[in-house]
Amino acid sequence: MEEKIQQILGKKWKPLLENCKNIEDGNYPGIYLLAFSDRNLEGEVVKPSDIFYVGMSNARKGLTSRVQQFINGIEKNGSHSAGMRFYKENSKGIAFSECNHLEKFYIISSTFKCDVNKLSRTPNDLRIMGDICRLEYYLLAYIKEVTNTEPNLNKK
């Protein structure tokens, strides 16, 4: 698990809004990290202190769909609990695109090829799906260990 964490933390931030539809293998489940910063993080390696949110998806439509739900949350107060929380608490009920935030969202992601369809998935697919859930919590634990706190937008 430590190796997977280090692989993810070795990735480089990309602007969220420009890259949300271009997630590599985004039709598969996986993990995503978001940063929200007034510094330009594009191309920088992930630092635990920059992580604003850790999310995952095991949904049929994959990680791209889940990230789009987050964007719907920050724009329309729907679809994603963390996005809705941001909409209410950080944007004070105004769509992110209409706010004058100095900060920008950045993303890194890691997907895992497997079949999530209940009728066709294998025992190994289920193990991969379980590993994704486990990885989310191991990432949160690592972040807390290194920074003494959990990402601001993670509440569960």
Q: What is the pLDDT of residues 3-50, one digit of tens each?
A: 999 999 999 999 999 999 999 999 999 999 999 999 999 999 999 999
Of the pLDDT bands very low, low, confident and very high (cuts 50, 70, 90), residue 127 is very high
Flag whether 89 is in a domain.
no
Q: What are phi and psi of 31, to 5 degrees?
A: -115, 145
Please give the pLDDT value at position 105: 99
Alpha helices in 11-122 (DSSP H): 16-19, 62-76, 81-89
Q: What percent of the chain has pLDDT over 70?
A: 100
Flag whether 90 is in a domain.
no
Flag whether 84 is in a domain.
no
Two tokens, residue 130: 């379980």
Flag whether 13 is in a domain.
yes
Q: What percent of the chain has pLDDT over 90?
A: 97
- Which has the closest alpha carbon to 2: 147, 135, 144, 155? 135
Flag whether 25 is in a domain.
yes
* pLDDT above 80 for 156: no
Flag whether 82 is in a domain.
no
Flag whether 91 is in a domain.
no
Tell me the helices (H) and strands (E) count for the chain, helix number first: 5, 4
* pLDDT above 80 for 73: yes
Flag whether 152 is in a domain.
no
In the chain, the number of structural domains is 1
Which residue range(s) make up the domain with 128?
Answer: 2-72+102-147
pTM attached to this predicted model = 0.96
